[in-house]
């Protein structure tokens, strides 16, 4: 992968390290500390907090760049990889997609081999930050390194298709997952992603097909599934059309069907689902 990013020497942090030798426990401690900073929520002096966070992020990159993997046992490498994976995932959850890519590139440049978890984390960053074209390159690179896409890999691509309103391609990918290996089978998250997208664009027929496949596959729904169903079927009318007495009656029947389904599957209402029903 060829992600472009600014040099860390431009941050002014490089001089703090000098010629210090970096030890395995240091990078693990630093990655965990930076993950804590990524998850930190501060209500005071936001500019200073942001500055401190960015300084720590770049310092962490410097630590990663100085590691000499060939001097460490495989067990130590695995522990460090786990810490770096957690750092990438924390950056993605905070929507700091650029930093997630920087960590990934630094890690690869030092010779540490990414695993499937690493690729899936950076794939989420690429899908949300750069789009599907770059995401396909990540998947290609993953396969070139002898790894096989799993459910999480395909979920990231599903999210990309749905973000672009390419539901036909998303549905085709979902079918591919159903026909794939055990490690590639769709989860309730997979179905929720595309069901939510169907609700967003008002594609009721596709939502019915997707939900039928979910039941046929024996996938247990959750509250997010219910929210997606309400979004897809809880319209009194099609977009840009006025509701009629008949459409309102159909809406009431659909909502009653959802309630009956929830009762049968023992899914409890949440505040969000109850509000959606009333809306």
pLDDT tens by residue, 115-172: 999 999 999 999 999 999 999 999 999 999 999 999 999 999 999 999 999 999 999 9
Q: What is the structure's pLDDT at 62? A: 66
Query: Tell me, what's the pLDDT at 54?
Result: 58
Q: pLDDT > 70: what percent of the chain? A: 70
Q: How far is Cα 138 from Cα 104, in angstroms, rounded to an integer?
A: 11
| Distance separating alpha carbons of residues 53 and 33, to the nearest angstrom | 10
For 246-260, the pLDDT digits (tens) are 777 777 787 788 888
| pLDDT level of residue 263 (50, 70, 90 thresholds) | confident
Please name which of 135, 118, 189, 200 lies closest in space to residue 167, comparing C-alpha atoms.
Answer: 200
DSSP annotation of 1 reads: -
- With 80 as the cut, is the pLDDT of residue 3 above it? no
Q: What is the pLDDT of residue 259?
A: 81
Exposure pattern of 163-186 as b/e (b: 16+ CB <10 Å)? eeeebeebbebbeebbebeeebbb
Q: How confident is the model at residue 179 (pLDDT cuts 50, 70, 90)?
A: very high
Per-residue pLDDT, 141: 93
Q: Return the closest-CA partner of residue 211 out of 200, 278, 199.
A: 199
- The pLDDT value recorded for residue 245 is 76
């Amino acid at each position: 992968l060829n992600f472009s990013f600014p040099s860390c020497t431009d941050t002014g942090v490089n001089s703090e390290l000098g010629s210090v030798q970096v030890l395995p426990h240091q990078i693990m401690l630093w990655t965990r500390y930076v993950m804590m900073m990524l998850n930190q929520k501060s209500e005071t002096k936001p500019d200073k907090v942001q500055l401190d966070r960015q300084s720590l992020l770049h310092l962490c990159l410097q630590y990663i760049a100085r590691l000499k993997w060939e001097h460490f046992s495989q067990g130590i490498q695995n522990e460090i990889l786990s810490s770096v994976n957690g750092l990438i995932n924390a950056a993605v959850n905070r929507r700091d997609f650029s930093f997630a890519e920087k960590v990934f590139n630094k890690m690869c440049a030092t010779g540490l081999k990414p695993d499937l978890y690493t690729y899936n984390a950076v794939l989420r960053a690429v899908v949300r930050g750069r789009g599907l074209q770059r995401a396909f390159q990540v998947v290609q690179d993953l396969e070139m390194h002898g790894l096989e896409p799993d459910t999480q890999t395909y979920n990231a691509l599903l999210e990309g298709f749905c973000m672009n309103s390419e539901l036909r391609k998303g549905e085709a990918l979902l079918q591919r997952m159903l026909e794939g290996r055990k490690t590639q089978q769709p989860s309730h998250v997979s179905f929720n992603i595309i069901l939510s997208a169907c609700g967003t664009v008002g594609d009721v027929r596709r939502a019915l097909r997707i939900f039928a496949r979910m039941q046929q596959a024996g996938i247990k729904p959750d509250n997010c599934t219910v929210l997606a169903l309400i979004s897809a079927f809880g319209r009194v009318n099609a977009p840009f059309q006025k509701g009629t007495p008949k459409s309102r009656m159909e809406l009431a029947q659909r909502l009653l069907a959802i309630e009956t389904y929830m009762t049968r599957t023992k899914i409890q209402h949440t505040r969000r689902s109850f509000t959606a029903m009333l809306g």
